[in-house]
Amino acid sequence: MAVHNAATREIVYKVAYHGPGMCGKTTNLRFIYNTLPGRQVGNFLVLDTAVERTLYYDFLPVVIPLDDDYKVRFHLYTVPGQAYYDASRKLVLRGVDGVVFVADSRGDRMAENEESLAMLKRDLTDVGLDYATVPLIMQYNKRDLANVIPADLLTEKLNERGVRSFGAVARDGVGVFETLSAIADLVTGRN
Amino acid sequence: MPAKYVELKTADVELMEAELRTLCARAGAEAVVLVDLSGVILASHRVSDKIDHLLFAALLSSNFAATEELSRRLGVTGFRIMYHEGKRQNLYFDKVADDTILVVLFRDSNALGRVRLFTEKSIAELAKMVTAATRPAAEAPILPQAHAAAAYLAQMATSIQPGKL
Inter-residue contact A183 to A28 (CB < 8 Å): no
Rounded to a whole number of angstroms, the distance from the CA of A128 to the nearest CA of chain B is 5
pLDDT digits (tens, 9 = 90+) for A22-61: 999 999 999 999 999 998 998 888 876 655 566 678 999 9
pLDDT digits (tens, 9 = 90+) for B117-152: 999 999 999 999 999 999 888 888 889 999 999 999
Residue B136 lies in a domain: yes
Q: What is the pLDDT of residue A47?
A: 76
Q: Please answer yes or no on whether A184 and B153 come within 8 Å at the CB atom.
A: yes
Residue B34 lies in a domain: yes
Range of the domain at A43: 3-188
Average pLDDT over residues B50-77: 89
**In the predicted model, what is the mean pLDDT of chain B?**
92
Range of the domain at B54: 4-159
Distances (CA, A) of A174 to A34, A54, A170, B157, B160: 14, 22, 6, 10, 9
Which residue among A43, A56, A178 places its CB closest to the CB of B157?
Answer: A178
Cα B94 to Cα B10: distance, rounded to the nearest angstrom: 24
Inter-residue contact B129 to B18 (CB < 8 Å): no
pLDDT tier at B94, thresholds 50, 70, 90? very high
Domain count, chain B: 1
Q: What is the pLDDT of residue A183?
A: 98
pLDDT digits (tens, 9 = 90+) for B6-42: 999 999 999 999 999 999 999 999 999 999 999 999 9
- Tell whether B69 lies on the interface with A, counting CB pairs under 8 A: yes
Which residue among A11, A66, A94 places its CB closest to the CB of B65?
Answer: A94
- Tell whether B18 lies on the interface with A, counting CB pairs under 8 A: no
Q: What is the pLDDT of residue B157?
A: 94
- Alpha-helical (H) ranges within A36-150 are 86-93, 110-126
Q: What are phi and psi of B9, to 5 degrees?
A: -80, 165
The fraction of chain A above a pLDDT of 90, given in percent, is 80
Rounded to a whole number of angstroms, the distance from the CA of A65 to the nearest CA of chain B is 8
Q: What is the pLDDT of residue B141?
A: 86
Q: What is the pLDDT of residue A35?
A: 95
Torsion of CA B53, B54, B56, B62, to 10 degrees: 160
Average pLDDT over residues A114-139: 96
Inter-residue contact A126 to A90 (CB < 8 Å): yes
Q: What is the pLDDT of residue B73?
A: 85
Which residue among B1, B65, B163 places its CB closest to the CB of A172?
Answer: B163
Residue B164 lies in a domain: no
Residue B32 belongs to a domain with what CATH number?
Answer: 3.30.450.30
Q: Which of A75, A76, A5 is nearest to B43 (CA)?
A: A5
Q: Please answer yes or no on whether A95 and B99 come within 8 Å at the CB atom.
A: yes
Residue B48 lies in a domain: yes
Cα B162 to Cα A173: distance, rounded to the nearest angstrom: 6
Residue A117 belongs to a domain with what CATH number?
Answer: 3.40.50.300
Residue B75 lies in a domain: yes
Domain count, chain A: 1
> Which residues neighbour A85 within 8 Å (Cβ) at sequence distance 6 or greater?
A55, A56, A79
β strands within B30-154, DSSP E: 31-36, 40-45, 81-85, 89-97, 100-107, 134-136
Q: What is the pLDDT of residue B2?
A: 46
Q: What is the pLDDT of residue A53?
A: 61
Residue B165 lies in a domain: no
The fraction of chain B above a pLDDT of 70, given in percent, is 99
Q: What are phi and psi of A56, to 5 degrees?
A: -100, -70
